[in-house]
Amino acid sequence: MNKGIHNVFQRQTAGGDDIVSFGRMYVMNIIALWCIAMPLSFMAAFWWKLPVVWVVLCIQSDQIFKCLPVFIHFRKYNWIIKRTQDIEAGTTQAEG
């Protein structure tokens, strides 16, 4: 019974480095929000007096800046965790 309860609450990573990425993504989200989106939106609304559509685009502009680091991390393939089993050796590839 304890094993079943453990399986219910166990986190499944699906072959990726979600813990490492979460830390980086959290910092990147904070920096993008407070250093890019908020100042740009403030300037668009109050200094440049742009229409609402342009202010909303400025609010969403941080998504463009977050795409580059995520794309670089994705293309390195360091995030992949192999969860397959080597048939000849009888061990998982993560163990060596």
Q: Output the pTM of the full model.
A: 0.58
* Alpha carbon separation from 62 to 17, 26, 81 (Å, rounded): 23, 13, 29
Q: For every residue of 54-81, which 3-state class applies, written as one string?
A: HHHHHHCCHHHHHHHHHHHHHHHCCCEC
pLDDT at 51: 97
pLDDT in tens, 32-54: 999 999 999 999 999 999 999 99
Tokens read off for 11: 């986190």
Domain range list for the chain: 15-76
pLDDT at 38: 95
pLDDT at 6 over 50: no
How far apart, in whole angstroms, are the C-alpha atoms of residue 78 and residue 50?
Answer: 42
pLDDT in tens, 59-95: 999 888 888 887 887 888 877 777 666 666 655 555 5
